[in-house]
Amino acid sequence: MSRYRGPRLRICRRLGDLPGLTRKKSKKQSPAGEHGQLSRKPSEYALRLEEKQKLRFNYGLTEKQFVNYIKTAKKVQGSTGLILLQILEMRLDNTIFRLGMSPTIPAARQLVNHGHLLVNNRNVSICSYQCKPGDLITIKNKHASRCLVENYLNFPALANIPNHLELDKEKLIGKVNGIIEREWVALKLNELLVVEYYARK
């Protein structure tokens, strides 16, 4: 299944607030669709699926990418759910979003794809690049690139930059100081349900 390119607010109405997907807010409260206003008790499977979909849509992943991240997280010693969140949060496109250099993750992906950024003074055009402690993310010294990011920084999507990141607004340089901690993940979800969803498949 390819990356979702449909209406983003419809997804937010169904799954709740997804800051990485869109900064728009819907005036409608009920889920989208003809039967969205009907109240039903969701099954255990539906709850697990919903938590998985929150992660997938917020970070803009295909199902195949997501399954690969689950497999990677299972190979690492520790809590699979926490490691999965850390892998997703340390992606380059998400790191740019969390620094405030873009309003959403799709906008951050566009910055990377269009070559506006350097990581450790090298061109990186791969959104899934895993940022590591010590990485420096800089904006290319081009007028168009700097203007674009400066405009984004004037209207940040999230109130605070996580404690593992550091931003110099004057020089437009972001620094990764460590691995993100669980309390700084901007999504409200239970990652254990996501692990259970794939464990039962």
Query: What's the pTM value of the predicted model, to 2 decimals?
Result: 0.85
- Single-letter amino acid code for the residue at 179: I
| Domain annotation covers residue 169 | yes
| Domain annotation covers residue 2 | no
Give the full edge-to-edge strand order of the sheet including 122-123.
122-123, 117-119, 136-139, 173-176, 165-168
Q: What is the CATH number of the domain that holds 127?
A: 3.10.290.10
Residues 24 and 77 in one domain: yes
β-bridge partners, 138: 118, 173
Per-residue confidence band for 177, with pLDDT thresholds at 50, 70 and 90: very high
Hey, what are 96's tokens?
């740019």
Hey, what are 111's tokens?
């910055």
Q: What is the CATH number of the domain that holds 68?
A: 1.10.1050.10
pLDDT over 70 (residue 187): yes
Q: Helix, strand, coil % (nearest 5) of the chain?
A: 45, 10, 45
- What are the pLDDT digits (tens) for 77-121? 889 999 999 999 999 999 999 998 888 888 899 999 998 899 999
What pLDDT does 87 receive?
A: 94
Residues 29 and 96 in one domain: no
Residue 76 sits in which domain range? 8-87+187-199
What pLDDT does 96 receive?
A: 92
| Domain annotation covers residue 62 | yes
Residues 43 and 18 in one domain: yes
Instruction: Report the domain count for the chain.
Output: 2
Residue 195: other Cβ atoms inside 10 A:
22
- What are the pLDDT digits (tens) for 45-69? 888 988 898 898 888 888 999 999 9
